[in-house]
Amino acid sequence: KQEVTQIPAALSVPEGENLVLNCSFTDSAIYNLQWFRQDPGKGLTSLLLIQSSQREQTSGRLNASLDKSSGRSTLYIAASQPGDSATYLCAAYYGQNFVFGPGTRLSVLP
């Protein structure tokens, strides 16, 4: 069964800290892995997409890594800001639909 888990479920940090969000997937036959941001009452915003052949992707203060063999991905956020407060979702894409993790709820305190 294809499952995606994320830890921690919630995280609260002071502004300026670097932090790591973790994602694990049980089926390594992914096409790609995507990290999304979801603000309360809003839809999903795609942050980073890593193809199965890639090891990492970077966008600004965000860096995502992918290790297919171990079934893991991490999202690294540098110099966190209050505006980064949101729920971060990891999703494994298997060629037809996403399998989502439950998310990590991040609060960055000013």
Q: What residue ranges bind other proteins (CB under 8 A)?
A: 4, 31-32, 34, 36, 41-44, 46, 49, 51, 89, 91, 93, 95-103
* Least distance (Å) between residue 39 CB and other proteins: 10
Nearer to other proteins, 59 or 81 (CB): 59
Tokens describing residue 71: 């079934």
Sheet holding 62-67, edge to edge: 4-7, 19-25, 72-77, 62-67, 56-59
Rounded Cα–Cα distance for residues 43 and 31 (Å): 23
* Least distance (Å) between residue 99 CB and other proteins: 7
Q: Is 68 exposed, middle or buried (0-12, 13-18, 19+ CB in 10 A)?
A: middle
Nearer to other proteins, 31 or 70 (CB): 31
* Least distance (Å) between residue 90 CB and other proteins: 9
Nearer to other proteins, 3 or 17 (CB): 3
* Least distance (Å) between residue 45 CB and other proteins: 8
45 HSE (CA, 13 A, CB side): 11
